[in-house]
């Protein structure tokens, strides 16, 4: 405000001076001092020209500064400008925007550096009118797929037609699929593709992520091995620590010259405890061997209802004891090739799991259903139990993980391994206060 006031003040003084001189000319003309009036008139012309130049320079300077701001050109330094005081507010605005621009550039460099160090192909498109252009392509995308960092969509389409054609066919909508891509003139590799569309500040963006399935699998395998080693280490330490402690105690007792009745009782208890822990450790190892050495399925043609009814018949006494209502809704015949004993074991494991889930429930119900679709059989077992706690969802198929005191923690893991050995998969979902385990097998 002070700077603007000074500019207005200077403009007012110039106009006032011109009016005063014009008054003097008028006075001289009345006194018939013609030559003097003409001379003073020339002075007025000079003052008007000076006022014009002053206003022109002021407006040009404002226009030049605003144009620099609009074009994000903050290379100028106005701190030493001769009229710095007169344009103080303008310079303050310029410096504020300059600092924000520098901050934005710094953040942009950091974000791009982060994206360039991620081992996932990242492509971000920006919509301009009706066309899409490349907003960002990270280093991994460019190097892994041997695509130069172009800025136009049609250039990218020439370099990477398989991806671009898929995106165009889906009309740049959100996609989650797998894609076969040939990399570095090698065999084709499978990539997981995920895309999303977002709009911010009237700008529309399309984000594409490409991840190698091999890398995803390796990551999952590594996580599974780490979790497995934690469980095995925990079980081994739980058994070996008390055995070692009791062995040390027995060593001290046998080194005595004589034994009291109390010493003998301690020795008996120590030996019994060591035997119990050894048995537990042996059972643990046997369970691990059972998982690790699963025999190859001996497949034979068998009818679906027969194998389901056999499993229900085996579990019937437990259903009756726990007062559980079982609804078998499978009402069609379907022949498929499986290892009868192994699939029965899976059914028994899943039904046992449902019985445990229904232990504290008043409405105890288990529902079996099946359907065939796309040459696959989907067999589901649903119970009205407590469901799977979200905190342990990623652990339920982990070997030796269990929430039951008497459980061994291999039922679901073994079931999953058996189904996968048959070329299928085992999954689950929680919905409407019900838990469903789904077995999928190829016909």
pLDDT confidence of residue 76: 66
Residues 160 and 206 in one domain: yes
From 237, 270, 292, the end of a domain falls on 292
| Phi and psi torsions of 5, nearest 5° | -65, -40
Q: Determine the structural domain holding residue 326 and report its residue range.
A: 300-442
Residues 337 and 394 in one domain: yes
Question: What percentage of the chain's residues is helix, strand, coil (to nearest 5)?
Answer: 55, 20, 25
Residues 202 and 222 in one domain: no
pLDDT confidence of residue 129: 82
Q: Tokens at residue 383, please?
A: 């119970």
**What CATH number is given to the structural domain containing 432?**
3.30.565.10
Q: What is the pLDDT of residues 292-315, one digit of tens each?
A: 566 778 889 999 999 999 888 888
pLDDT confidence of residue 349: 85
CA angle 67, 70, 75 (to 5 degrees): 75
How would you class 102 by CB atoms within 10 Å of its CB: exposed for 0-12, middle for 13-18, buried for 19 or more? exposed
Residues 25 and 41 in one domain: yes
CA angle 149, 170, 159 (to 5 degrees): 25
pTM value is: 0.43
pLDDT confidence of residue 283: 65
- Could you give the CA distance from residue 429 to residue 388 in angstroms, rounded to a whole number? 8
- Dihedral angle sign, alpha carbons of residues 407, 409, 414, 419: positive
- Could you give the CA distance from residue 210 to residue 245 in angstroms, rounded to a whole number? 54
Residue 43 maps to a domain: yes
Residues 374 and 319 in one domain: yes
Alpha helices (H) along 71-87? none
Q: 189 and 183 in contact (C-beta within 8 Å)?
A: yes
Residues 207 and 220 in one domain: no
Residue 104 maps to a domain: no
Q: Which of 219, 8, 43, 254 is nearest to 119 (CA)?
A: 219
- Could you give the CA distance from residue 327 to residue 369 in angstroms, rounded to a whole number? 9
Contact residues for 253 (Cβ-Cβ < 8 A; gap 6+): 259, 263, 266, 267
pLDDT confidence of residue 367: 93
What domain count does the chain have? Answer: 4
Residues 312 and 419 in one domain: yes
Q: For every one of its 443 residues, what pLDDT tens digit does the chain have, with 9 covering 90 and above?
A: 444 555 667 777 777 887 887 777 777 777 777 777 787 778 878 878 887 777 777 777 777 777 777 777 766 666 555 554 556 666 777 777 777 877 877 888 888 888 888 888 899 999 888 889 998 999 988 888 888 888 889 888 888 888 888 888 888 888 888 777 766 555 567 788 888 888 877 788 999 998 876 665 556 556 666 666 666 666 666 667 777 777 777 777 777 777 777 877 877 887 787 777 677 666 666 655 665 566 778 889 999 999 999 888 888 888 888 889 999 999 888 998 998 888 888 898 899 888 888 888 888 899 999 999 878 899 999 998 877 766 666 666 666 556 555 555 667 778 888 888 888 888 888 877 788 899 999 87
Residue 346 maps to a domain: yes
């Amino acid at each position: 405000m002070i700077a603007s006031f000074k500019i207005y003040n200077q403009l007012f003084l110039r106009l006032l001076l011109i009016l005063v001189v014009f008054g003097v000319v008028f006075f001289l003309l009345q006194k018939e001092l013609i030559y003097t009036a003409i001379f003073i008139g020339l002075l007025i012309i000079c003052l008007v020209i000076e006022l014009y130049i002053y206003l022109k320079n002021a407006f040009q300077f404002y226009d030049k500064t605003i144009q620099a701001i609009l074009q994000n050109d903050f290379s100028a330094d106005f701190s030493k400008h001769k009229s710095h005081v007169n344009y103080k507010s303008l310079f303050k605005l310029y410096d504020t925007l300059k600092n924000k621009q520098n901050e934005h550039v710094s953040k942009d460099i950091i974000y791009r550096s982060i994206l360039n160090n991620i081992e996932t192909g990242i492509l971000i498109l920006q919509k301009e009118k009706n066309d899409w252009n490349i907003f960002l392509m990270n280093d991994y995308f460019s190097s892994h797929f041997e695509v130069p960092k172009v800025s136009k969509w049609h250039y990218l389409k020439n370099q990477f037609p398989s991806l671009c054609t898929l995106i165009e066919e889906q009309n740049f909508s959100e996609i989650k699929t797998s894609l076969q891509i040939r990399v570095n003139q090698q065999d084709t590799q499978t990539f997981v593709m995920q895309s999303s569309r977002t709009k911010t500040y009237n700008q529309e963006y399309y984000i594409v992520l490409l991840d190698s399935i091999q890398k995803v699998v390796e990551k999952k395998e590594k996580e599974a091995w780490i979790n497995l080693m934690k469980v095995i280490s925990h079980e081994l330490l739980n058994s070996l620590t008390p055995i070692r402690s009791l062995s040390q105690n027995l060593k001290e007792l046998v080194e005595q010259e004589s034994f009291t009745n109390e010493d003998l009782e301690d020795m008996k208890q120590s030996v019994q405890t060591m035997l119990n822990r050894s048995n537990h450790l042996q059972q643990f190892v046997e369970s691990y061997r059972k998982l690790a050495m699963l025999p190859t399925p001996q497949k034979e043609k068998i009818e679906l209802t027969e194998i389901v009814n056999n499993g229900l018949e085996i579990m019937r006494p437990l259903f009756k004891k726990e007062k559980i209502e079982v609804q078998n809704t499978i009402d069609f015949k379907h022949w498929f090739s499986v290892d009868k004993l192994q699939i029965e074991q899976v059914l028994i494991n899943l039904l046992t799991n449902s019985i445990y889930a229904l232990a504290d429930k008043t409405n105890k119900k288990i529902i079996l259903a099946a359907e065939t679709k796309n040459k696959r059989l989907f067999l589901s077992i649903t119970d009205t139990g407590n469901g799977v706690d979200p905190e342990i969802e990623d652990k339920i198929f982990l070997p030796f993980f269990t929430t039951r005191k008497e459980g061994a923690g291999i039922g679901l893991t073994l079931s999953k391994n058996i189904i996968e050995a048959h070329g299928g998969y085992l999954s689950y979902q929680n919905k409407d206060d019900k838990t469903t385990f789904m077995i999928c097998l190829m016909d």
